[in-house]
Structure 1
């Protein structure tokens, strides 16, 4: 998981810290790296393991690799060679969703203050990226992805949404007549092409979105495309291939991207659930 903030927009923040090297008072910070290790799956339980719960051996018993996790580093050793990865935080398999969220929560606060922020996860398939960000996890008995409704299982995105709207409500109470407009968009970058996921959500009959539990989304023609096969569905991919444009001020935007207005955290969470299962 990687997070960071970097913005030249300062109108919505306190510029008291501005200096000659940073005249706009923009907040800049180093990229933060957080490592999370998921528990072993059932098929991995037979792999040789060390005596402690933070030393894990790979499946190759002839030349096992040992990974040792410490508070701020990951040590990888194989064939006598040692590599050390430094990180801002390392979470073992017992770490809660809340603890992981708190490690990047300052990005949400910076966003509210007017800074551009980004939190993204990186890793191999099956390492827990989707669960960390959403709370969605695979049921090994059915091989389906399910969303645990309990708040304790919510990932970074649902927690950030709730934090954002809690701050909006606080601002409304503190400033009579204050109003806020919130819009959401969901895109997928696949093979260097950009696809508008929300544009595939609304059926042509206008009756609204389908339940995310059905694991389907409605295409523009009213037919349904299985979300589990969406990446390989040519007709769905051809629905809308968006282009990145640049404004005169140098900022970039996705031309033609669908935006949905949401008035509370429940509406935004519902939109997130609709496009979540892929």
Structure 2
């Protein structure tokens, strides 16, 4: 019995072993099939990488061609401006010559009038002299007749005759002197007539010169109009090339900025961040060094070291701000950990001219450029609004009579307790109904609005930052432009966003309300990361609606907007981990591709909606 039982057990074990062998063979076949599919996928990825490299080379070539065309246009523009300045100087010179010629003509006319009056007086005096001469001749004749009568009738003495002779001689001498005076007056009259003829000739020559100068002025005015027309055409070509260059650079561009070291940051951070000096990465590369000597290199569209000023940063985005005036949607937002300098980059210190941030500098450029373009017939209407997203709740920062945030119950939208929602119009643009929209006409009004918004924004103190922004702030400027000469209309939007800083609870020491705020901030930034990952992988579904922040940014990240991201980095060694996460996230953003920017030329009807597209 025992042998029989052992035999049966042995047979069962052999059966189980055969079944395990069959399963192992099946698993081996499945593994071989999976390896073959992985090799095929790897081959396809290599082919896709080769095509991407070829496409990148093509884009670089087109960019070089566009840069050369832009340089030529800039040279032509400079030549036109110099020619215009020369023409204006020539025009001013001709105006001065015309003024002097007119003065000469007036002087000649006055001289002519004085000479005519003088001739008239000389003629009257000559007439009087002639009358005196005739009267004296008649007197001489009368005296001669009386003398003959006296000789005949009375026989007066020779003494009386001598006296009469003396008188007659005296009268003859007087008559001779008067005749001489008459001849002198006739010479003076002839000279005056000659002067009058010369004055007439001078007047005619002056008139001829005046007509020639008038024709020259007309020709210069025509050339000036042609030059202004060429300047207008050059400006349109500049806008076209400018937008082409921005499209070639990528619709989502990423800039990196490293803030300076502070006195309370500690020491030992000299080797944490470095900047490559090779030609390819100069001004675009940054390297992060971790403990142990491990190096992490990154390359972005532009890298600003801790020595870069606010003006240096703004120069790089000024062309993007110009696109908003040209009728495009523009979005600029700052990302980074708490205390990395996001609010300083976006807002700065408006009271200190050299430390103004991107928001006040962008608005100053828009006002200055709009005033320059007014000479070409452009008129602009500017409308501003500002909100914050605090604990997944939208707050209106420009709401009149808004209470201080510290006096409000966390989570409320304002004094009235109004709840704001985000909606989308027919064009896919996100907007917030009933949000306060203010018409602005000067930079002073914008400055007051920024001060009001800064006072209303939610801030708090943490271990990482004395004044930490506890919300995401969104400043929006809607631009409506009309050209009265060409009847062209443009509609642009400028979104300037200061995101709240990411932070680790272990470092920030947040508790209570600060803990709730930190969790909400990190959750919204995590949703933003999910959106970027989905865009980078070209997934069919992008989770824009997972948070209020990504819902607002949907037109900027997935639409036809020109978008720029600032990733702000802290240089101290204790922030290496957060800095590495921020740089990796920024690299993924830089790899995303969204729709082609579209210029908006239709004026929408005035309503209370504000688009964030």
TM-score by length of 1: 0.66
- Are 1:106 and 2:306 counterparts? no
Q: CA deviation at 1:81?
A: 2.9
Q: CA deviation at 1:73?
A: 1.5
Pairwise mapping of residues 24-103 of structure 1 onto structure 2 (< 5 A)? 28=247, 29-30=249-250, 31-44=252-265, 46-50=266-270, 55=271, 66-70=272-276, 71-78=283-290, 79-103=292-316
Q: CA deviation at 1:255?
A: 1.4
Q: CA deviation at 1:169?
A: 1.0
Partner of 1:214: none
Partner of 2:441: 263
Partner of 2:332: 119
| 1:196/1:240 contact within 8 Å kept | no
Pairwise mapping of residues 86-235 of structure 1 onto structure 2 (< 5 A)? 86-136=299-349, 147=350, 149-175=351-377, 178-199=378-399, 202-203=400-401, 219=402, 224-226=403-405, 229=406, 233-235=410-412
**How many angstroms apart in 2 are the aligned matches of 1:266 and 1:80?**
51
- Structure number with higher helix proportion: 2
Pairwise mapping of residues 228-243 of structure 1 onto structure 2 (< 5 A)? 229=406, 233-235=410-412, 237=414, 239-243=417-421
**How many angstroms apart in 2 are the aligned matches of 1:126 and 1:230?**
25
| 1:107/1:118 contact within 8 Å kept | no
> Kindly tell me: are residues 164 and 230 of structure 1, through their superposed partners in 2, closer, same or farther at Cα, counting changes over 3 Å?
farther
Q: CA deviation at 1:232?
A: 6.7
Report how many residues are paired: 209
In structure 1, the residue corresponding to 2:404 is in which secondary structure?
A: strand
Structure 2 residue corresponding to 1:275, chosen from 432, 447, 453: 453
> Kindly tell me: are residues 111 and 76 of structure 1, through their superposed partners in 2, closer, same or farther at Cα, counting changes over 3 Å?
same
**How many angstroms apart in 2 are the aligned matches of 1:73 and 1:251?**
35
> Kindly tell me: are residues 68 and 164 of structure 1, through their superposed partners in 2, closer, same or farther at Cα, counting changes over 3 Å?
same
TM-score by length of 2: 0.32
**How many angstroms apart in 2 are the aligned matches of 1:132 and 1:198?**
21
| Structure with more relative contact order (C-alpha pairs < 8 Å, separation 6 or more) | 2
Partner of 2:561: none
**Greater Rg, structure 1 or structure 2?**
2
**How many angstroms apart in 1 are the aligned matches of 2:423 and 2:258?**
38
> Kindly tell me: are residues 240 and 197 of structure 1, through their superposed partners in 2, closer, same or farther at Cα, counting changes over 3 Å?
farther
**How many angstroms apart in 1 are the aligned matches of 2:294 and 2:268?**
20
| 1:230/1:236 contact within 8 Å kept | no
| 2:388/2:397 contact within 8 Å kept | yes
| 2:391/2:411 contact within 8 Å kept | no
When the two chains are superposed, the root-mean-square deviation of aligned CA atoms in Å is 2.9
Partner of 1:5: none
Q: CA deviation at 1:265?
A: 1.5
**How many angstroms apart in 2 are the aligned matches of 1:33 and 1:231?**
36
**How many angstroms apart in 2 are the aligned matches of 1:106 and 1:82?**
34
In structure 2, the residue corresponding to 1:198 is in which secondary structure?
A: coil
> Kindly tell me: are residues 40 and 264 of structure 1, through their superposed partners in 2, closer, same or farther at Cα, counting changes over 3 Å?
same
The answer for unaligned runs of 5 or more in structure 2 is 1-235, 277-282, 458-613
Per-residue CA deviation, residues 47-73 of structure 1 (Å, 9 max, x unaligned), is: 2143xxxx3xxxxxxxxxx32234211
> Kindly tell me: are residues 235 and 173 of structure 1, through their superposed partners in 2, closer, same or farther at Cα, counting changes over 3 Å?
same
- Structure number with higher strand proportion: 1
The answer for unaligned runs of 5 or more in structure 1 is 1-12, 18-24, 56-65, 137-146, 204-218
